[in-house]
Amino acid sequence: MIEKTNQDEIKKYLSDASNFQGNCNSVYFPENIDDVSSIIKEANKKKIPVTIAGGGTGLTGASVPQGGVVISMEKMNNIIEINPIEKYATVQPGLILSDFLEKINEKKLFYPPDPTEKKCFLGGNVATNASGEKTFKYGATREYIMGLEIVLPTGELLNLKRNNEIADNYLLNLRTDNNKELSIIIPDYISPATKNASGYYCKSNMDAVDLFIGSEGTLGVITKIKLKLLPVPEKIISCIVFFNKEKDALEFVRQARNISFDTRLRKDFRTIDALALEYFDERALKFLSNDYQQIPGDAEAAVWFEQEVNKSNEDSFFDAWLDLIRKFNGDEESAWFAVTDADKIKLHEFRHAISWKINEFISKNNFRKLGTDVAVPDIRFEELYYYSKNEATNANLNFVIYGHFGNSHMHLNILPDNNLEFERGKLVYRDICLKAIELKGTVSAEHGIGKIKRELLFAMYGEENIKKMMQLKKQLDPNLILNKGNLFYESLI
């Protein structure tokens, strides 16, 4: 197994896409589960911190080490099996998402959870319970995980199959591969009823697989993943529509969301049932206008939606969307409709451009990313939106708003030019997160907590529940070696 210690060679493992910076002594590149287990056993014996690195596309510093050693999963990147009949795949965690999507597409299979940045690893996606634009219809990574192989922080191996290891109320009994029994007490807090990636997923009678999904690498190293797949949809229509009034665009999203929910409830799939419902505010459109000169100069907002169709219902869906666009004064003439694959790729590139241009801006100016990832119950969303916009405007900051508005989930990204603006931005960012908590929402709906949102997780759950999370970690990681610094401050333990 390769181990690198030269600081120039390991530089890329010392930060992630949030531009959070760290340090470590060496990086290991395991090629199989035995390699992983031996690094972990040795580190556990010597109490050396170990940080797991996926693709490094995370936005919270979660894969950034604070001393100790890093395990990069990049050499464990094989597809073990794709089963088109039973519709599942088994993969190693270092597999790059875009490579996986290409392979399953060849077999006419579909894996919906795709965070906008497709250079992430599937192991990283499981560890963060990643979601993406299609989450509005298809849910996050969690919904697609059928089984996990995990090396625990003690070096022991756990093989979990969905529906196999179920907690008895809040007690989870697990058995390792060498027959050691573990009785884990699950915290009994209630998480917000929104899209959520903040803290451990805990429920009474929960499935053990769910405990590890979204645990940000703090409970074990994922070494194998079994994923559920779907048949490729016959056809997807995709459209970006511009609005001259922000209020109309927000109302359009609200109605499209409600109709989609109603369609799913009634199982009457002849009308609107959006796959994705994404929003861009006026500032986001201006931020992109140099690269996309077709954006109408007077647009106050844009909404991107997608819908699955087939030959028999395509026209009726089209009409239903057109009616809704007209009802809310959307600009039909300037709308971008994509039906061919090539057009759809262009619309996806547009959606992607906003995220990576922000990341380019912050790394060029060398600031840490200040982008909210808040979600609230649908009924409180517009309150959160206007509150956030006013806070950032009143602080005289440059910012853009976009995000997964179908899920009432908003990214407000602050674009500071100097330290004073960065410091003011931090206060605005915090105020928005506290507002989301007040509205019964979450401080992170998809990116996770990592090392940059620990105070906010504390504010969201309170000291008692954070201590329950820490006790859960301690049961599996008695020497607290794994992914030190994610979720909570060790000093609290």
Q: Where do contacts with ligand FAD occur on this chain (CB under 6 A)?
A: 16-17, 52-59, 62-63, 73, 93, 115-117, 120-121, 123-125, 127-128, 130-132, 216-217, 221-222, 355-356, 359, 446-447, 483, 486
Closer to ligand FAD by Cβ: residue 48 or 335: 48
What is the closest distance, in whole angstroms, from the C-beta atom of residue 228 to ligand FAD in the complex? 17
Closer to ligand FAD by Cβ: residue 112 or 330: 112
Cβ–Cβ under 8 Å, residues 178 and 242: no
What is the closest distance, in whole angstroms, from the C-beta atom of residue 221 to ligand FAD in the complex? 5
Which residue has the CB atom at the shortest distance from ligand FAD? Answer: 124
What is the closest distance, in whole angstroms, from the C-beta atom of residue 359 to ligand FAD in the complex? 5
Cβ contacts of 400 within 8 Å, gap of 6 or more: 281, 283, 284, 287, 354, 358, 412, 413, 415
Closer to ligand FAD by Cβ: residue 37 or 63: 63
Closer to ligand FAD by Cβ: residue 96 or 338: 96
Q: How many degrees, rounded to 5, is the angle at CA 334 between CA 332 and CA 336?
A: 90
Closer to ligand FAD by Cβ: residue 260 or 407: 407
What is the closest distance, in whole angstroms, from the C-beta atom of residue 356 to ligand FAD in the complex? 5
Give the β-pairing of 79-83 and 88-91: antiparallel
Closer to ligand FAD by Cβ: residue 30 or 425: 30
- Give CA–CA dist 402/286, Å, rounded: 12
What is the closest distance, in whole angstroms, from the C-beta atom of residue 351 to ligand FAD in the complex? 9
Tokens at residue 151, please? Answer: 């090396």
What is the closest distance, in whole angstroms, from the C-beta atom of residue 314 to ligand FAD in the complex? 27
Closer to ligand FAD by Cβ: residue 129 or 271: 129
What is the closest distance, in whole angstroms, from the C-beta atom of residue 5 to ligand FAD in the complex? 20
What is the closest distance, in whole angstroms, from the C-beta atom of residue 150 to ligand FAD in the complex? 8
Residue with tokens 């990116």: 447
What is the closest distance, in whole angstroms, from the C-beta atom of residue 135 to ligand FAD in the complex? 8
Closer to ligand FAD by Cβ: residue 326 or 352: 352
Question: What is the separation of C-alpha 490 from the centre of its chain, rounded to a whole number of angstroms?
Answer: 24
What is the closest distance, in whole angstroms, from the C-beta atom of residue 62 to ligand FAD in the complex? 3
Closer to ligand FAD by Cβ: residue 212 or 243: 212
Closer to ligand FAD by Cβ: residue 98 or 390: 98
